[in-house]
Structure 1
């Protein structure tokens, strides 16, 4: 079930973020991965908005947004390849425009997923040892 993210979800969101970003860091071979450095207090202070999905009362996916930008898309590693990220993107697009997302250029699974929703690479920048790619989407596209 997908529902809006609430402040009471932040502790679980933080744990999910730590799990998912560890996998991404390993995938791209990053020994220094800034998203893993965010503290739980900083996440609470950020007050992210977006959507989550639960399976058996457990948070297994989250998509946060700021304006039309996806700020994080997380799936529990034990729930990969079950369509959770796809469902979260589709659900969010039904409720608001999404136009921008950034991810590691070496994160091919994420880039492939975003391309399915019409996101196209438009810019790359190196941040520390990680090359980030920004993808943009024409908001006139159908879900």
Structure 2
């Protein structure tokens, strides 16, 4: 089940962190870069975030299994994090969260996202959902991120 999360609640913030930390640890190894800013998050920084958070709760265990966070911008929506706890990898959770976001009326005309250029599973996920690569940027010596975007149909 996908719901809007109240990340300002300390218990919810800790649950988000419990999903995010192991997911980003694996990504950091995959892309050979441990400078992912979200690895430095604490429950307090999540509580203070201005992002909107969606959560996927596993119906069997009742655990928060995936999180998508986004910011609304003048041009639409910027996905700021999309993580799935490793216990739930390959279960379609990231796709479900992304599809949910794409259906929200307040998403605006354009959705953008950036991910590590070497994070092939993430790039494939966005391309599967018809995001288009708009370029790469070197954000640290020898480390590149890939920018992607998707124009949404007007309603």
Same topology, TM > 0.5: yes
2 CA distance for matches of 1:3 and 1:109? 24
Q: Distance in 2 between matches of 1:126 and 1:30?
A: 12
Asked if 1:119 corresponds to 2:131, the answer is yes
**Structure 1 unmatched runs, 5+:** none
The CA distance in 1 between the partners of 2:153 and 2:135, in whole Å, is: 21
Match of 1:131 in 2: 144
**Per-residue deviation, 1:29:** 1.4
Going from structure 1 to structure 2, the CA distance change for 1:99 and 1:31 (only over 3 Å counts) comes to closer
> Displacement of 1:30 after TM fit?
1.6
TM-score, length of structure 2 as denominator length: 0.84
Q: Decide whether the 8 Å contact of 1:118 with 1:138 is kept in 2.
A: no
Following TM superposition, where does structure 1 have runs of at least 4 consecutive aligned residues deviating by more than 4 angstroms? Answer: none
Structure 1 residue 58 corresponds to structure 2 residue 60? no
Question: Could you report, residue by residue, the CA deviation over 1:59-116 in whole angstroms, capped at 9, with x for unpaired residues?
Answer: 1001111011111001011101000001111111111435100000000100000011
1:124 deviates by: 1.4
Correspondence for 1:10 among 6, 13, 18: 13
CA–CA distance in 2 between the matches of 1:31 and 1:92? 28
Specify which of 82, 106, 113 is matched with residue 118 of structure 2.
Answer: 106
Instruction: Indicate if the aligned counterparts of 1:64 and 1:72 stay in contact, CA closer than 8 A.
Output: yes
> What RMSD in Å do the two structures reach over aligned CA positions?
1.6
TM-score by length of structure 1 reads: 0.91
Going from structure 1 to structure 2, the CA distance change for 1:31 and 1:88 (only over 3 Å counts) comes to closer
Question: Once structures 1 and 2 are overlaid, which stretch shifts more, 110-119 or 34-43?
Answer: 34-43
Task: Tell me how many residue pairs correspond in the alignment.
Answer: 141
Looking at structure 1, the residues matched to 84 and 150 of structure 2 have their Cα atoms a distance apart, in angstroms, of 22
